[in-house]
Structure 1
Amino acid sequence: MTPADKIAAEKADHIARFGTHGTWGWFGRFSPEEARQIEELGYGTIWLGGSPKHLEPIRTVLEATENITVATGIVNIWNTDAAAIAEQWHELENDFPGRFYLGIGAGHPEATAEYTKPYEAVVAYLDALDAKDVPVNRRLLAALGPKMLRLSADRALGAHPYLTPPEHTNIARETLGEGVLLAPEHKVVLDTDAAAARAVGRPPVDTPYLHLRNYTSNLKRLGWTDADIADGGSDELIDALVAHGDAASVRNQVDAHLAAGADHVAIQVLGSEAPVEQLAEIIRAA
């Protein structure tokens, strides 16, 4: 095996650890019992989002489970010191070897006063992680546009796009090339009444994402218009970003990311106080 073949094989092994399906929730979203249930259902990864300043909720999920991968989606580079987060990564790696992957990103200019030159800032953050020996294959980047996608291929295991339809996944795969993790998030509402499902899905899409420049710019690159984005989002846009219907229909919609080139899709259940029950329906609807 050549050195290049060995590197590719190691990366493929890391990608396989995510499985084809995961679930996405805000930090603290899943109780220890729910985390155990998600693992028992066969999901490969639990994603925890919300720009945390520390990784204690990650430890709680890791302690509650045995083998499932856990990843951040994402740690915000502006509010978390790279050296401190690297130290926490090493602590988790020591206690739960091979299970935690560090997703980082630059967040949104509207939400961060320090936001400037995000690409350069992410590069500097990665340099700091390098200096603290956080392996390239154990980190991911929030990436939407081509420049950040290419960086995620060069300096990380891959990319974790958020709020993207399968059309973006197709473009992202072309940009990343093969052998790089592509793990988009997709929101779902289990409801066969389209109007009722949109009533659940529209508010968390509109606020804040349809008012954040990086997301709206990405949607426009995909052909969506100002009219689609205005007033809470057109029905067509909401349907593209929030899968709805019965479990089989929702499963088909999220699996469109896999058909478009994703390795993994992170499912975020909306509008339910019992997300595990709906995750069970979706995963069993193969």
Structure 2
Amino acid sequence: MTSPQHPLGSYGVWVRRPDLTPDLATRIERLGYGTLWVGGSPGAGLEEAAAALAATERITVATGIVNIWRADAAETARSFRRLEQDHPGRFLLGLGSGHPEADKARRAPLAAMADYLDVLDAEGVPAHRRVLSALGPKMLRLAADRAAGSHPYLTVPAHTAWAREVLGPGAVLAPEVMVIGETDSTRARATGRQMLGGYLGMSNYTSTMLRWGFTPEDLADGGSDRLVDELTRWGAPAQLAAGLRAHLDAGASHVCAQVLPVGADQAPTLEALAAELFAR
């Protein structure tokens, strides 16, 4: 499958939709990031993506991700066509199948995703303008066959290297990385544990963690220091930038940063990080 029509750039920013404002979208574009990911399961109407596109001029806006159990496929397709008409080539549709613990209707996610993609195909959403949130080999192969590639969440560079092998050389591979602009280890790890706590109860994430080097002990009691340090990147801007670059070195085509803590002013961290990432 070919790459999206509009380039993602090497680095982007992942923002939960309640925190995404037109002013923040504009600031992210001005800082030089290539893509703005709208996180937190945007609905089929894609309202937050539309607002971000209207507030900006060049940056790609993507969803990270639309949950296929909560967003009707035909409505999502109609919203895609509206955004494409208003902002040609600037929107990338990220899709995912959620978590069994959070979506009680979730059954046979691979087949359900294939069915969802069938509807998008019939409604005229090009395969190269969508990516799938894929952690395991079967969903990754589906992402390679029927989308531009994958947008995985909460992974380590070793997973990125393996996912690149599964996807092949030409596919988009755009992992998300949590970053914390805090140099004090106690405060930084407390922020990381607060964020990771909910994910340690989700089997698709914990099975991936166990496969890629963590132990059951690492997952216990809110997560070990090692788990927090590898699943989040904290410290000075140079350390945050190194955490993103580690995924590019492992085979990612794009990496997006999610600033923690949730709800905090993201601008200082994003500005400092941009200075490191885009230094000439």
Both proteins in one fold, TM over 0.5 = yes
Q: In the TM superposition, what whole-angstrom CA distance separates every residue of 1:108-145 from its partner, at most 9, and x where no partner exists?
A: 00111211100000010001100101000100100001
- Helix, strand or coil at the partner of 1:28: helix
The answer to whether the Cα contact below 8 Å between 2:36 and 2:59 also exists between their aligned partners in 1 is yes
> Are 1:257 and 2:247 matched, yes or no?
yes
Aligned residue pair count: 275
> Are 1:90 and 2:87 matched, yes or no?
no
| Equivalence for 1:145 | 136
Give the C-alpha shift of residue 49 in structure 1. 1.2
Give the C-alpha shift of residue 267 in structure 1. 0.1
Q: Could you tell me how far apart the structure 2 residues matched to 1:117 and 1:62 are?
A: 34
1:65 counterpart letter in structure 2:
T
Q: In the TM superposition, what whole-angstrom CA distance separates every residue of 1:144-203 from its partner, at most 9, and x where no partner exists?
A: 011111110000001000001111111111111101000000001011111210011111
> Are 1:45 and 2:23 matched, yes or no?
no
| Equivalence for 2:118 | 127
Give the C-alpha shift of residue 216 in structure 1. 0.5
1:253 counterpart letter in structure 2:
G
| Equivalence for 1:233 | 223
Q: Could you tell me how far apart the structure 2 residues matched to 1:87 and 1:16 are?
A: 20
Larger mean CA deviation between 128-137 and 218-227 belongs to 218-227
The answer to whether the Cα contact below 8 Å between 2:68 and 2:116 also exists between their aligned partners in 1 is yes
- Helix, strand or coil at the partner of 2:93: strand
| Equivalence for 1:71 | 62
| Equivalence for 2:160 | 169
Q: Could you tell me how far apart the structure 2 residues matched to 1:141 and 1:273 are?
A: 28
Q: 1:170 to 1:16 in 2, by over 3 A?
A: farther
Runs of 4+ in structure 1 over 2 Å off? none
- Correspondent of 1:186 among 169, 177, 182: 177
Q: Could you tell me how far apart the structure 1 residues matched to 2:78 and 2:66 are?
A: 14
Give the C-alpha shift of residue 223 in structure 1. 2.4
| Equivalence for 1:203 | 194
RMSD: 1.2
The answer to whether the Cα contact below 8 Å between 1:15 and 1:263 also exists between their aligned partners in 2 is no
1:171 counterpart letter in structure 2:
W
The answer to whether the Cα contact below 8 Å between 2:6 and 2:90 also exists between their aligned partners in 1 is no
Q: 1:15 to 1:230 in 2, by over 3 A?
A: farther
| Equivalence for 1:23 | 13
Runs of 5+ consecutive residues of structure 2 not aligned to the other structure: none
TM-score by length of 1: 0.94
- Helix, strand or coil at the partner of 1:284: helix
Taking only the aligned residue pairs, the percentage that are identical comes to 51
Give the C-alpha shift of residue 30 in structure 1. 2.1
Give the C-alpha shift of residue 226 in structure 1. 1.1
TM-score by length of 2: 0.96
1:34 counterpart letter in structure 2:
L
The answer to whether the Cα contact below 8 Å between 1:21 and 1:264 also exists between their aligned partners in 2 is yes
1:262 counterpart letter in structure 2:
A
- Helix, strand or coil at the partner of 1:92: helix
| Equivalence for 1:4 | none
Give the C-alpha shift of residue 79 in structure 1. 0.9
The answer to whether the Cα contact below 8 Å between 2:5 and 2:89 also exists between their aligned partners in 1 is no
Q: Could you tell me how far apart the structure 1 residues matched to 2:42 and 2:251 are?
A: 29
Q: Could you tell me how far apart the structure 2 residues matched to 1:29 and 1:99 are?
A: 21
Runs of 5+ consecutive residues of structure 1 not aligned to the other structure: 1-7
